[in-house]
Amino acid sequence: MGEKVLRIGVIGTGFIGKQHIEAIRRIPGAEVVAVADSNGEMVKSVSEQLHIPSYYSDYTELLKKKDIDIVHNCTPSALHFEINKAVMKSGKHVYCEKPLTLNTKESEELVQLSKEKGIAAGANFNYRHNAMVQEMHERVKNNSIGEILVVHGQYLQDWLLYDTDYDWRLDPKLGGESRAVSDIGSHCFDTMQYILNKKIISVYANLITVYPIRKRTEKVGGTYSNQQGKVLEEVSIHSEDVAFIMIKFENGTQGLINLSQVGAGKKNGLSVTISGSTASLEWEQERPDKLWVGHRDSGNEEIYASSGFLTGAAKRYALLPNGHPLGWTDALKCAIQSFYEAILHDTYQEDKQNYATFADGHYIMKLVEACLISSQHKEWVDIQ
Ligand SMILES: NC(=O)c1ccc[n+]([C@@H]2O[C@H](COP(=O)([O-])OP(=O)(O)OC[C@H]3O[C@@H](n4cnc5c(N)ncnc54)[C@H](O)[C@@H]3O)[C@@H](O)[C@H]2O)c1
């Protein structure tokens, strides 16, 4: 990146906030100067352990700092709307975790505000920045697997397998009305739309709540950590543990998405298969630096991430020589870097960006809402 130093503030220093800090520190010319988290003890210890000069338990104090260029919003989803608005009103660029908000009313307002204020506004759909997802995007663009016949996406996890598993995502006030679709389906939507460079325009969803009652204990675990202590109360759950979603893209391509947060043994099992008329492409997030190319009349191939074997713009995502596996943290770094480059090159107001914009995040909220309506009415729902 250029010579200018970008000064960054991170709000929310839980699971993903710490990953952002690490990723930002790998980007030349970017410096984390302040962190904020409502958990005062935690933000103090993050600031001390990671040598970040300023820390606040009230994020509005961080926003008063004049020397911050970009704020990352890594708080629970219910706070994205309020905090993103406050960041933009303070004149700083904002990079927010997914899902962008809890509903389209909020996400639409954020898109408007970012335009009015001329603010760069990115949503962290990090998987599109994996080298092999970039390669799939390039190969589809170059027509190298022929006409796209059908696409399959899957995201399976097991961290909510037991009825004693609980975190803020299960509380509709904090996580929203949808859970599996909003939390992990949103990643499928973004990754598949990015690979095909086409929007999903219609959905038919069947949302399933496996546990209508869950048990909340004294100490609710953080993201991906177990609860501890005595069971305090039984909580009614209305959001979905599982979703089956049929999808139609704007060019007529059809596909299927399969989501679960109760699949024993599946940790972060995102995968996408694109079936073309001459070959298929498949990427599995838990084998992040490999791309499977399927053939009918010859042997299948497995390509490793290496600039020598990747195509076009995907080459620059192969950060290491062949055999030095790229992974989740590399995709996050590339996602953030892509956003920062648009700021440094002053191109962030252009409609099409390589990173997911707030407009993309808003469109994904429309897909989430459409799934809720579709499942309720048992019918196809078009995106307006
Ligand atoms: N892109 C991804 O792959 C990915 C992965 C995990 C989480 N996420 C998203 O990141 C967000 C955070 O998730 P997480 O798993 O890190 O949650 P978490 O619970 O681990 O961390 C959230 C942090 O926000 C803090 N917080 C709560 N209220 C606050 C406030 N008012 N001001 C400042 N800080 C506040 C909490 O104290 C906590 O430290 C969610 O929107 C989630 O969907 C994205």
Question: Which residue's CA lies nearest to atom 41 of ligand 1?
Answer: 77
Q: Is residue 1 part of a domain?
A: no
Rounded Cα–Cα distance for residues 98 and 351 (Å): 20
pLDDT of residue 224: 63
Domain that holds residue 19: 6-127+336-355
pLDDT surpassing 70 at residue 335: yes
Asked if 244 and 377 sit in the same domain, the reply is: yes
Sheet arrangement for strand 356-357: 54-56, 30-36, 6-11, 70-73, 93-97, 121-124, 356-357
Q: What pLDDT score was predicted for residue 217?
A: 81
How many angstroms does the Cα of residue 102 sit away from the middle of ligand 1?
A: 14
Q: Given the CA of residue 80, which atom of ligand 1 is nearest to it?
A: 41
Residue 360 lies in a domain: no
Q: Output the pLDDT for position 139.
A: 98
Per-residue pLDDT of 101-156, as tens digits, reads 999 999 999 999 999 999 999 999 999 999 999 999 999 999 999 999 999 999 99
Share of the chain above pLDDT 70, in %: 96
If asked whether residues 208 and 122 sit together in one domain, one would say: no
Q: How close is the Cα of 14 to the center of ligand 1, in Å?
A: 6
What pLDDT does 4 receive?
73
For position 225, what pLDDT does the model report?
64
- Is 224 touching ligand 1 by the criterion CB < 6 Å? no
Substitution site in 18, 37, 286 for ligand 1 pocket (most atoms within 8 Å of beta carbon): 37
Highest mean pLDDT, choosing among 158-167, 183-192, 315-324 = 183-192
Mean pLDDT of the chain: 96
Residue 316 maps to which CATH number? Answer: 3.30.360.10
Q: What pLDDT score was predicted for residue 367?
A: 99
- One domain, residues 118 and 153: no
| Statement: residue 2 has pLDDT above 90 | no
Phi (first) and psi of residue 64, to 5 degrees: -75, -20
Q: What is the pTM of this model?
A: 0.97
Cβ(14) to ligand 1 under 6 A?
A: yes
pLDDT on residue 191: 99
pLDDT, position 15 = 96
pLDDT of 228 reads 65
Task: Output the pLDDT for position 231.
Answer: 74
- Is the CB–ligand 1 distance for residue 184 below 6 Å? no
Give, for 7, the enclosing helix (H) or strand (E). strand 6-11
Report d(CA 96, CA 101) in Å as an integer. 9
For the range 37-46, what are the long-range contacts, defined as Cβ-Cβ under 8 Å and sequence gap of 24 or more?
37/11, 37/12, 37/13, 39/13, 42/13, 42/14, 43/13, 46/13, 46/17, 46/18, 46/21
Cβ of 123 less than 6 Å from ligand 1? no
Domain count, the chain: 2
Q: Is residue 295 part of a domain?
A: yes
pLDDT confidence of 223, banded at 50, 70, 90?
low
Answer whether 40 contacts ligand 1 (Cβ < 6 A).
no
Position 331 in a domain? no
**Quick check: CB of 38 below 6 Å from ligand 1?**
yes
